[in-house]
Amino acid sequence: MPLFFRKRKPSEEARKRLEYQMCLAKEAGADDILDISKCELSEIPFGAFATCKVLQKKVLIVHTNHLTSLLPKSCSLLSLITIKVLDLHDNQLTALPEDIGQLTALQVLNVERNQVTYLPRSIGNLTQLQTLNVKDNKLKELPDTIGELRSLRTLDVSGNEIRRLPQMLAHVRTLETLCLDASSMVYPPQEVCSAGPEAIQQFLCKESGLEYYPPSQYLLPVLEQDGAETSQDSPDGPTDRFSREEVEWQNRFADYEKRKEQKMLEKLEFERRLELGQREHAQLLQQSSSQKDEILQTVKEEQSRLEQGLSERQRHLEEDRQRLQEQLKQTEQNISNRIQKLLQDNQRQKKTSEILKSLENERIRMEQLMSITQEETENLRRREIASAMQQMLTESCKNRFIQMAYESQRQSLVQQACSSMAEMDERFQQILSWQQMDQNKAISQILQESAMQKAAFEALQVKKDLMHRQIRNQIKLIETELLQLTQLELKRKSLDTEAGLQHEILRRVQKLLDATRVQPELLKPPQGEVPGALEPTAPEELPESVRPSAPPPHPDRSTSAPAARGRQ
């Protein structure tokens, strides 16, 4: 069987037949039979189960459909608890429900011409089952529980793949008719199976160590309470009673078939009359074209009236069906709600102590988590303060190194200037001794050069003083900023949110970075100076986090620089 298949959609005629049969079963005075055969059903509708449950139907006929399963997902087998005759032949069933044993009132089960591969073990609970027809299926064996069918009279397993009969069948003492394929049997042997049901039962009783008695000597379970006393008065009572019941069931089926044929004849008569009326209408149209509009209007009015009456009838039937289904659903919902409430109350009472215990454990766990969180917060704060202090110490050390480098560089520049001046004096003396004739010119040149050197020396000295003052101001500014950062770190608890503190720190760090970017531009030598002789060696580059920021603009700086350039 394919795992996925598309459900066949019933035709319009099959749908109308289903609605008609359902309405017929719900009418007052209807018999105990629900016939939904030949309706092209892929599953038994929910309304059929509800009708059988509410109206206590005893016969359910569902043959000649496309059923693959007896029980839909939303239905319960207990809705068919009153069914005595279940006819499922000519379908596509592959298995019967596992809990089919709940149908304790079932007397006739017909699953002929299906695709059943096995019978459930719960079939042994059908103690009132008299006829079991599984002809033309795909059975390979019968369950041992079939020996518990104390009322079974007819068993038909022909047209299957059964090779052996269970020994437990010997316990079915009421079996009168047994149909099987004797030519393919292995146990009992073929010659025994060909001899008939009595020989088969004798063989099975002999194999099981039981004594064989004819079926007529055993009393079957009583089908109706009003015949119980009659069946116990005489020894021939059971056979006569079951014969009468069989005749009665046959009469009922015959009456049902007669009524069905009568309905079919009425339908054919109606169709014939309708066809005759249509022919007469066509003749009238051909004969009298002048009255065409009037006749058409009359026919339309009649048709609309008929359709309106039919739709009104269908609407009433649909409303009755929906109301009945709603009542059934409401009743089942109330029952299920009550059962669910009882189960919930019971479960709630059982789990009260567990819930209290779990709540206590949860409270203890939350307290532990809170204590752990506080400890982690304090440890994190300590680590942050320690890292900030360490960073401050590192920056102070770097500033000290910068100052020392600057002092050493300044001393080296002074020494270089002194040595250069001494060399120049020696050259001047040599020039005076070598060039006596150009003494005046040399003197003027020497004076001019000395004046230029003096101006350069003064400019260099001023620049050195400015650089020294700038570095000291930067060191003080860095110390002030670091002190402010430390105070901000210590006062972080008093801030409203941690985001504000981080923003303030980032702003101050950005300010320091901007100041460090401006410093190299201020330290560039004036235009015209010799870079190698006058500007100090560049100090070791510091990280951006510890670079000194530019000092605030001093009012004397803007005037001193132009003055120095003028002197130069």
DSSP codes of every residue in 86-104: EE--SS------TTGGG-T
Residue 137: per-residue pLDDT: 96
Return the pLDDT at 192.
Answer: 92
Tell me, what's the pLDDT at 219? 54
Residues 278 and 207 in one domain: no
Separation of alpha carbons 226 and 337, rounded Å? 38
Is residue 414 a part of any domain in this protein?
yes
Residues 6+ apart with CB under 8 A from 138: 115, 116, 117, 160, 161
Q: How many domains does the chain have?
A: 3
Q: Give the domain-ending residue among 232, 253, 270.
A: 232
pLDDT tens for each residue of the chain, 568 residues long? 444 445 567 788 889 888 888 888 887 666 788 989 989 899 999 889 999 989 889 999 999 999 999 888 878 888 899 999 999 999 999 999 999 999 999 999 999 999 999 999 999 999 999 999 999 999 999 999 999 998 899 999 999 999 999 999 999 988 999 999 999 999 999 999 999 899 999 999 999 898 888 888 875 443 443 344 334 434 444 456 666 766 777 777 777 778 777 877 877 888 788 888 888 877 777 777 666 677 778 878 888 888 888 888 888 888 888 888 888 888 888 888 888 888 887 777 777 777 777 888 888 887 777 777 777 777 888 888 888 888 888 888 888 888 888 888 888 888 887 887 888 878 777 766 776 776 677 677 778 888 888 888 888 888 888 888 888 888 888 888 888 888 887 776 666 666 666 777 888 888 888 887 776 555 555 454 444 433 443 444 444 444 444 444 444 444 444 444 444 4
**What are residue 326's phi and psi, to 5 degrees?**
-65, -40
Pair (167, 237) in one structural domain: no
245 and 222 part of one domain: no
Candidates 9, 33, 4, 7; CA nearest to 21 is 33
Whether 255 is in a domain gets the answer yes
Q: 471 and 501 in one domain? A: yes
Contact status, residue 538 vs residue 523, Cβ threshold 8 Å:
no
Domain's final residue, options 287, 305, 325:
287
Where b means 16+ CB within 10 Å and e means fewer, 162-199 reads: beebbbbbbbbbbbbebebebeebeebeeebbeeebeb
Do 218 and 251 sit in the same domain of this protein?
Answer: no
| In a shared domain, residues 495 and 535 | yes
The one-character DSSP state at 156 is E
Domain check: are 155 and 257 in the same one? no
Asked whether residue 360 is domain-assigned, the answer is: no
User: Tell me, what's the pLDDT at 2?
Assistant: 41
Of the candidates 107, 113, 144, 112, the one whose C-alpha atom is nearest the C-alpha of residue 129 is 107
Long-range contacts formed by 9-17: CB under 8 A, 24+ apart? 10/39, 10/40, 10/41, 11/40, 14/38, 14/39, 14/40, 14/41, 15/39
Residue ranges of E strands in 19-174: 33-35, 59-61, 85-87, 108-110, 131-133, 154-156
pLDDT for the residue numbered 407: 83
Residue 519 and residue 484 share a domain: yes
Residue 99 within a domain: yes
State residue 524's pLDDT score.
Answer: 55
Tokens representing 376 are 């982690």
Residues 246, 217, single domain; the answer is no
The pLDDT, as a whole number, for residue 162 is 92
287, 309, 330 - which closes a domain: 287
Exposed, middle or buried: residue 316 (CB in 10 Å: 0-12, 13-18, 19+)? Answer: exposed
Dihedral (Cα; 62, 68, 74, 75), 10-degree rounding: 40
User: Can you say how many angstroms the Cα of residue 152 is from the centroid of all Cα atoms in its chain?
Assistant: 49
d(CA 45, CA 34): 12
Nearest Cα neighbor of 165 from 193, 136, 194, 198 is 193
Residue 320: inside a domain, yes or no?
no
Look at residue 221 in the predicted model and tell me its pLDDT.
Answer: 46
Compute φ and ψ for 457, nearest 5 degrees.
-65, -40
> Domain for residue 303, yes or no?
no
Are the CB atoms for 51 and 34 separated by under 8 Å?
A: yes
Q: Are residues 65 and 171 in the same domain?
A: yes
Q: Are residues 175 and 278 in the same domain?
A: no
Owning domain of residue 221 = 12-232
* Structural domain includes residue 28: yes
48 domain-assigned: yes
Q: Please tell me the predicted confidence (pLDDT) of residue 116.
A: 95
SS3 state of residue 149: coil
Alpha-carbon span 156 to 110, nearest angstrom: 10
Q: Does residue 411 share a domain with residue 519?
A: yes
C-beta pairs of 479-482 under 8 Å, 24+ apart in sequence = 479/396, 479/399, 481/508, 481/512, 481/549, 482/392, 482/395, 482/396
C-alpha Rg value of the chain to the nearest Å: 57
Query: H/E element holding 177?
Result: strand 177-179
Question: Tell me, what CATH number does 88's domain have?
Answer: 3.80.10.10
